[in-house]
Amino acid sequence: MQTSSTPLVLPSSSESSRSVTPSSTRYLLLLLFAPVLLLAILLWVASTPWFMTHNAYPAMRNMGYELTLQHENCEIVLAGDSSALVAYDPEVVERLTGMKTCNVSEGSPVLSVVGSYPLDTYLSRNQRPKFLVMMFTPQIYHPSPYWLSGSDPEGYTYLLQYVRGKRLYFALRKPHKLLEYAAWVGNRLLTDALQRLQGEDPDAVAKDGGIYRREHHGQYQLPFPPETQCMRSIFHERAEDVHGDPEGVAAARRKYGMDGTRVFINLSPVPSCSAMRDTYERVLAGEHDNAFEQLPITWYNSEDVHVNETGAIHISTEVAQQILGSMHNSMGSQAAESPTRVLPSAATSAIASLSK
């Protein structure tokens, strides 16, 4: 019995390739480029003014106030992290000293990403101030913040919104943080959309930090009730995590103490119930110009760091006294050289009261 067999003919590799390439390549390209495209879109959206009103985070619009000040020429410039942003009331300082005052502080999430860009930009667009008073929290005491030391989303948003020349550097420096930030942007957009669908107003003007700062010469107060007890404990913070920054202090004095500007670097007060108060006082001794101070917890309204209006009036009054005391001391040494020197009337009265 004979059997006939037909030879099995396999398609050539080129024919096989042609048969699967069109669909598989498109699918592969879609898998590869869809995430990249989504990432690019999210980052682009985060860089637009539209995002600042569609992220369900109206308080974040307090950022960038200092960039709007051109030829403002404040005689006293208040700066620092969020402790200074909420505590330094320019109206109080100006009323007590008689000198034009503005607050150009930004929160530590911003400073940890863009460094001293906010303050440096203000100084580049305005006349040198007579006094620069900076304040930083003892938990994060960095009087000379540097670029991309942190990765907070608020800081990345500031970078994309206002610092045009650093975007590529930001993307290439920490790509994994870039992905985390893009996910945060997507989450904010989704939250905003859901709130709008539910009839809420995520862009409430009453919560707009930008409006508040413009109305208060740069100060921003958080809309929370007073604290009743310290939220931070020895379990939240460790003594070994508290570090001084003498190099940063010296660098800030060198950088800004020029062209007639007197620089004060202050340490923000802590609540009297703080478990770390003794550690802060010991570690940071000699690195600040003001006295280390403990305030009632009821003068705070957020994170044992941010003071309410009562605390702000107290701290701002102390800043005015700090400046007036410096002027009083310089008046004594310069009296012979400048007998006709004229001070603002409010400052003259305040200095006279200090002498009594």
pLDDT, tens digit (0-9, with 9 covering 90-100), for 225-239? 999 999 876 556 777
259: amino acid identity, one letter: D
Give yes or no for a contact between 192 and 41, defined as CB atoms under 8 angstroms apart: no
Range 178-200 average pLDDT: 93
Q: Answer whether residue 258 shows pLDDT above 90.
A: yes
Per-residue pLDDT tens digits for 10-69 = 555 555 445 556 677 766 766 677 788 888 899 999 999 999 999 998 888 999 999 999
Q: Which of 232, 226, 352 is nearest to 301 (CA)?
A: 226
Helix axes 13-46, 153-162, angle to 10 degrees: 90
pLDDT band at 5 (very low <50, low <70, confident <90, very high): low
Of residues 286 and 15, more confidence is placed in: 286
The pLDDT, as a whole number, for residue 59 is: 85
Q: Answer whether residue 266 shows pLDDT above 90.
A: yes
Q: Is 115 left (phi over 0), alpha (psi -120 to 50) or beta?
A: left
Of residues 354 and 75, more confidence is placed in: 75
182: amino acid identity, one letter: A
Beta-bridge partners for 267: 136
pLDDT band at 190 (very low <50, low <70, confident <90, very high): very high
The pLDDT, as a whole number, for residue 6 is: 57
Q: Which of 112-126, 158-172, 228-242, 341-355 holds the top average pLDDT?
A: 112-126
The pLDDT, as a whole number, for residue 334 is: 56
Measured CA distances, 16 to 26, 29, 292 (Å): 16, 20, 78
Q: Answer whether residue 204 shows pLDDT above 80.
A: no
The pLDDT, as a whole number, for residue 301 is: 94
Q: Which of 158, 181, 182, 178 is nearest to 169 (CA)?
A: 178
| Residue/partner pairs of 6-15 with CB below 8 Å, 24 or more apart | none
